[in-house]
Amino acid sequence: RAKEQGRNSYQLYTPVMNDRAFERLSMENSLRRALERNEFELYYQPKVNIKSQKIVGMEALVRWRHPEKGLILPGDFIPVAEDTGLIVPMGEWVLKTACAQNKAWQNAGFPPMRVAVNLSARQFQLQNLQEMVAGVLGETGLDPCWLELEITETIAMQNAEFTVKTLKELKEMGIQLSIDDFGTGYSSLSYLKRFPINKLKIDKSFVREINTDHDNAAIASAVIVLGQSLKLGVIAEGVETEEQLEFLKEHQCDEIQGYLFGRPVPAMEFEAMILQNIIN
Ligand code: C2E
Ligand code: MG
Ligand code: MG
Ligand code: MG
């Protein structure tokens, strides 16, 4: 284009350090500091068996306790952590903390439950992922059968051959595997069959309008049927109302997770939730 405009034209360099770029850079710096200063916390949300209403596990969800800004949700910092690679040390901290906490609950005599930890794309692609996970399990003493790793459908399908191989290795270690946010990506069903997974998690976007939107209801029930025919467990996330619960029960979903039963809470409050659940 510069050529077309003749030899007297030139192109200006536009500074890229706009507000957003600046915010990102400062976010990167404060994330780095947050790791050093231990500002991350894990919240736990119960996963409940739909028939027995008993807590069968929990998902560990990271939060950032910012000294000035207060509690920050993962949606606001995971993408930057992912881009900068900080997700790798952060993810290891999350895994270690979740496994150690679960082991501590088992040691304290609570009925054993499975803790689920989310893996980001970058973590999943790590060369030494299995080594890292094995190291954490060894260090914390948690039996691999009480750990579940969640990867999103989009991550799983990005490089499906690699996914098959990696999941097989994790599975051989005795770890449980779930496909998160299922239905939001594009799964090839032939790959889905080859992934050695245990569970599909129906994304909350389908659950939200399950009682009012025909398409969402159709997708949710189709995922349940798909899970059943592939002999996979199915869990629905984002269950907020009794009506949603009823729908999922009728369609024989196995487990639910959502505000209706319990929000993500700090470990101490989660413990109270378990105690309450054991009594009832
Ligand atoms: P996700 O793994 O799909 O987790 C479920 C999200 O839905 C959580 O949001 C949870 O708080 C929220 N949720 C649960 N029940 C309900 C409900 O009934 N209604 C509504 N509206 N929301 C509900 P959160 O904690 O903000 O986490 C968002 C995402 O951030 C997670 O989605 C996951 O992808 C990512 N994430 C969270 N913790 C970690 C982590 O430690 N490592 C990595 N790599 N990603 C994480
Ligand atoms: Mg998840
Ligand atoms: Mg999810
Ligand atoms: Mg989700």
Mean pLDDT on 134-157 = 97
pLDDT digits (tens, 9 = 90+) for 209-259: 999 999 999 999 999 999 999 999 999 999 999 999 999 999 999 999 999
pLDDT of residue 17: 63
Ligand 1 contacts CB of residue 204 (under 6 A): yes
The two tokens of residue 100 are 């150690």
Q: Distance from the CA of 58 to the center of ligand 4, in angstroms? A: 15
Ligand 1 contacts CB of residue 115 (under 6 A): no
Among 173-177, 185-189, 190-194, top mean pLDDT goes to: 173-177
Q: Which residue, among 215, 117, 114, has the nearest Cα to 223 in the 3D structure?
A: 215
ipTM of this model?
0.98
Q: Distance from the CA of 236 to the center of ligand 3, in angstroms? A: 9
Ligand 1 contacts CB of residue 240 (under 6 A): yes
pLDDT of residue 5: 55
Residue 6 has pLDDT above 80, yes or no: no
pLDDT digits (tens, 9 = 90+) for 161-172: 999 999 999 999
pLDDT of residue 274: 96
Ligand 1 pocket test: which of 45, 58, 61 has the largest number of ligand atoms within 8 Å of its C-beta?
A: 61
pLDDT of residue 251: 97
Identify the residue whose C-alpha is closest to ligand 1 atom 2: 118
Identify the residue whose C-alpha is closest to ligand 1 atom 12: 238
**How far is 150 from 200, CA to CA, in rounded Å?**
9
Mean pLDDT on 6-23 = 72
Ligand 1 pocket test: which of 41, 96, 118 has the largest number of ligand atoms within 8 Å of its C-beta?
A: 118
pLDDT band at 106 (very low <50, low <70, confident <90, very high): very high
DSSP annotation of 69 reads T
The two tokens of residue 252 are 């024989």
Task: Look at the block and give the residue holding tokens 């994790």.
Answer: 170
Other C-beta atoms lying within 10 Å of the C-beta of residue 259 = 12
Q: Which residue, among 69, 62, 65, 138, has the nearest Cα to 93 in the 3D structure?
A: 62
More confident residue, 5 or 85: 85
| pTM beyond 0.80 | yes
Tell the burial category of 203 from Cβ atoms under 10 Å away from its Cβ (0-12, 13-18, 19+): buried
Ligand 1 contacts CB of residue 41 (under 6 A): no
Ligand 1 contacts CB of residue 272 (under 6 A): no
